[in-house]
Copies of this chain bind each other. A is one copy, B any other.
Amino acid sequence: MQEQSFLQLRNAISRFLILEDSDWELLVPYIEEKHLSKHDVFAREGKIAIEIGFILDGDMRHYYTRDGIEKTTYFYFEGHFVCSYLSCVTQTPSELSIEAMTNCTLLVFPYSRMKQLFEVSHKWERFGRLIAEYLAIGLEQRMVGLLMLSPEERYIQLLEGNKQKIIERIPQHYISSYLGITPVSLSRIRQRLTNK
């Protein structure tokens, strides 16, 4: 059923712009399917990232390490693109690692191909712009949340999002670092909220 999964990727891209068959054909030969087991890494700290992934099934997270402690700062779910963006764009060693939280099925293609497409195709260059804009908007909103909301408010906001069911299956110590607090503190917040 490779055709079906490729179509999912094409649809995801089409949410950003109208993609003609001729555009699509420029990428297709470079796409591969990839399977990751739980805890497999997709990108590793210190390595220059070379791949862009598209999640067909499964959940992933990215994390930074400091003093041996992991801080999970982002989650990726089915239907989303995943890559160590900063490392790809700047071609410098990644400061973060990306790990499968569950068994995952991905479509992957090399960033180098994407870069070629930026050169040769105005349409793909536009895709690159729109993706970057999408990312920047998400990060801006995330940052504002961190600066303007309390940990409790951030947790409530997270629950109120449309990803409720997904959030519920993510271990809480990952969620706590996403919120910028400790697992203990998240546990207390949860207790406070249920006592209301």
Contacts and interface: CB of A to CB of B under 8 A. Distances in A.
Given A64-B147, A135-B136, 14 more contacts: A64-B144, A66-B148, A71-B148, A73-B143, A85-B137, A90-B137, A118-B129, A122-B122, A128-B129, A129-B132, A146-B147, A146-B180, A147-B178, A147-B180
A147 B73 CA distance: 8
Nearest to A132: B132
Q: What is the count of identical protomers in the complex?
A: 2
A34 to B, nearest CB: 24
A193 to B, nearest CB: 21
A133 interface: yes
B139 A64 contact: no
Interface of A: 64, 66, 71, 73, 85-86, 89-90, 95, 118, 122, 125-126, 128-129, 132-133, 135-137, 139-144, 146-148, 177-178, 180
A140 B143 CA distance: 9
Given A137-B90, A140-B85, A64 B125 contact: no
28 contacts: A71-B147, A71-B148, A85-B136, A85-B137, A85-B140, A86-B140, A86-B141, A89-B133, A90-B137, A95-B144, A118-B126, A125-B126, A126-B129, A128-B129, A128-B133, A129-B129, A129-B132, A132-B133, A132-B135, A136-B136, A139-B139, A139-B140, A139-B143, A143-B143, A146-B147, A147-B177, A147-B178, A147-B180
B143 A146 contact: yes
Contacts of A118: 126, 129
